[in-house]
Amino acid sequence: MIVFDHVTKKFGDVIAVNDLSFEIRDGETVMLLGPSGCGKTTTLKMINRLIEHTSGTILVDGKDIEKEDPVQLRRSMGYVIQQAGLFPHLTVGDNIGTVPRLLGWKPARIRDRIVELVELVDLDPAILPRLPRELSGGQQQRVGVARALAADPPVMLMDEPFGALDPITRQRLQEELRRLQQRVKKTIVFVTHDVEEAVTLGDRIAVLNVGGVLEQFDRPARILGRPANAFVADFLGKDRQLRRLSLMSVADADLLPESAEGLPEVPSSSNLRSALDEMLETGRRRLAVRDSDGTIKGVLTLESIMQMSRAI
Amino acid sequence: MVIGVLADLGTFWSDFRDTVSANYDELFTRTIEHLSIVAQTALISSAIGIVLGILCARYRERLAPLVIGTASVVLTLPSYALFGYFGVTLGYNDRAVILALTLYAMLPIIRNTYVGLTQVSPAVEESARGMGMSGRQILFRVRLPIALPVIMAGIRQATVLNVAIATIGAAIASGGLGTPIFHAIGRSELTLLLAATILVAAVGIGADLILGLVERILRERYFARARAALLLRLAR
């Protein structure tokens, strides 16, 4: 667990993070979301002491990080940044093995771990002997993630890791990170300015305002449904109800046990946003919901979608 | 006319051959001495220059302009005067020559070390720090290896420069190829002058090649081991 207790960071007279208090639970993904100048990266870097906080206390697993050796502290946390920051003079394999080598693992164990990680992040082992500059941006970022996971740290700090990638690659890596997280169950702190990314990846989102003020800290559905104030509502954008629908599954809506004869169909695994899109596309207010085993589960109506969007 | 030129060339060639064989022992010894002076200078100046370059990169604002400025001024000093000064103060020997040459080698080595270290991408340094490398580990495992080609270029440049400058060292000490050159000038022996000059050029080219090889070995060594180990493991 990571606890911020009245943490403030000043750069000279400028307040970057203002009296921040919140808790990140083990195994959850917390997104730090906000415009530039909101102190989200500063907040992240205070956790591994790349930036020292001015006042307040930060606890990791109950221990005050100020009393820890920064080098040891950082080795217990994975760190991924936007430009990947791979070492250009080392092979992909050596890049991934950096932290285990710092920790003094035996060579055979490091090699096994490297091969395991490459498979975990869905890279071809054939790239292990290559140099980072021979890889695409997406591949470099995967290597960055693998390198951060190498010593199996409980905490992962990610600073806009997918920010410099093209939209398609970014989306794919986001999906992979989600799948990866289901397997590895890390405590992830993830900085982003992209609402879509925050909503897709986060268990909870901390919305920060300029000057390092925490405006709201809650689950994505609640933040989208009940923004705490005008700033949050504004930052999330005009389409936040639609974004919220994308978080809800068709299977969770109230389905009517009516005849589905002649209705357009949606799979029960899709989300309410796609269902609504299907309604707009076909001009119908009712859709047949088909389960993965092929049976019709019932009928989804526009009214039940609206009802879902009202519920919090 | 063509026959005339060819005949001249023929005469010149046999003249040249005679001069070289008459002075063979002398030229051979002087070449070895020359190589030895240049090699010692390269070792000493690399050690001092790299350390100063690292300090310059560490204290960018305060130290770098001062050190690099001073090293630039040294390079403008007339070599004859500098050799003379050390000859007078330290005695007429190879030590004085090596000291003067070391001063001449400073600028390229310090500057290249400084530039090589400071041009390492901030993202790379930040991720190294974020992964839990200590300052020393970042320097030796990340920044110096990345800067290596630039640093080696500085050492090569300084060394090749010194192969030529070292001949002037004969003004204060008897070692190196400067000695036969001074003799040749004093006795107007153009063929001997030419032979010694060719040898100086050859030493220069040789030094450049050797240092290029050193650079390749240092660079390859870095990932060759890991590459081989991984390939073995993957082939299983």
pLDDT digits (tens, 9 = 90+) for A263-283: 999 998 899 999 999 999 999
Q: For chain B, give the mean pLDDT.
A: 89
Residue to test with chain A: of B131, B138, B150, most A Cβ within 10 A:
B131
- Sorted by sequence, the CB contacts under 8 Å of residue A56 that are 6+ apart come out as A4, A5, A6, A7, A8, A19, A20, A21
CB contact under 8 A, A85 and B124: yes
Q: Calculate mean pLDDT across residues B103-131.
A: 95
CA dihedral B157→B161→B162→B165, nearest 10 degrees, is -170
Does the pLDDT value for residue B4 go beyond 80? no
Query: Of B181, B155, B148, nearest to B39 (Cα)?
Result: B155
Residue to test with chain A: of B117, B127, B136, most A Cβ within 10 A:
B127
What is the structure's pLDDT at A233?
Answer: 93
Q: What is the DSSP string of A45-105?
A: HHHTTSS--SEEEEEETTEEGGGS-HHHHHHTEEEEETTTT--TTS-HHHHHTHHHHHTT-
pLDDT digits (tens, 9 = 90+) for B137-195: 999 999 999 999 999 999 999 999 999 999 998 888 878 899 999 989 999 888 899 99
| ipTM for the complex shown | 0.82
Q: Give the pairing of strands A55-60 and A296-301.
A: unpaired
Q: Enumerate the residues of chain B whose CB falls inside 8 A of the CB of residue A94.
A: 223, 226
pLDDT digits (tens, 9 = 90+) for B53-79: 999 999 988 999 999 999 999 989 998
pLDDT digits (tens, 9 = 90+) for A132-189: 999 999 999 999 999 999 999 999 999 999 988 899 989 989 999 999 999 889 999 9
Comparing A85-94, A243-252, B53-62, B132-141, the range with the smallest average pLDDT is A243-252
Question: Which residue in chain A has the smallest CA separation from B129?
Answer: A50
- For B211, other C-beta atoms within 10 Å of its C-beta total 20
Residues 96-135 of B with CB under 8 A from A: 121, 123-124, 126-134
What is the structure's pLDDT at B236?
Answer: 47
Q: What distance in Å separates residue B58's CA from the closest CA in chain A?
A: 18
CB contact under 8 A, B234 and A125: yes
Of the pLDDT bands very low, low, confident and very high (cuts 50, 70, 90), residue A65 is very high
Does the pLDDT value for residue B230 go beyond 80? no
Of the pLDDT bands very low, low, confident and very high (cuts 50, 70, 90), residue B216 is confident
Spatial separation of the C-alpha atoms in residues A180 and A186, rounded to whole Å: 9
Comparing A13-17, A269-273, B13-17, B106-110, the range with the smallest average pLDDT is B13-17
Q: Enumerate the residues of chain A whose CB falls inside 8 A of the CB of residue B131.
A: 74-75, 79, 98-99, 102, 147-148
Q: Chain A to chain B, count of Cβ pairs less than 8 Å apart?
A: 92
CB contact under 8 A, B134 and A89: no
Residues 201-220 of B with CB under 8 A from A: 219
CB contact under 8 A, B229 and A102: no
Does the pLDDT value for residue A122 go beyond 80? yes
Residue to test with chain B: of A87, A109, A155, most B Cβ within 10 A:
A87
Q: Calculate mean pLDDT across residues A186-211.
A: 95
pLDDT digits (tens, 9 = 90+) for A47-56: 999 999 999 9
- For A13, other C-beta atoms within 10 Å of its C-beta total 5
Residue to test with chain B: of A44, A89, A128, most B Cβ within 10 A:
A89
Does the pLDDT value for residue A312 go beyond 80? no
Spatial separation of the C-alpha atoms in residues A129 and A90, rounded to whole Å: 9
Which of the two residues, B225 and A4, has the higher pLDDT score? A4
**Cα dihedral A184, A186, A191, A194 sign:** positive
Q: Which two tokens stand for residue A68?
A: 């820890």
Spatial separation of the C-alpha atoms in residues A71 and A175, rounded to whole Å: 31
Q: Which of A89, A125, A126 sits opposite B145 (nearest CB)?
A: A89
What is the structure's pLDDT at B139?
Answer: 94
CB contact under 8 A, A85 and B134: no
The percent of residues in chain A predicted with pLDDT above 70, rounded, is: 100
What is the structure's pLDDT at A213?
Answer: 94
CB contact under 8 A, A111 and B230: yes
What is the structure's pLDDT at B121?
Answer: 93
What's the pTM? 0.82
What is the structure's pLDDT at B16?
Answer: 85
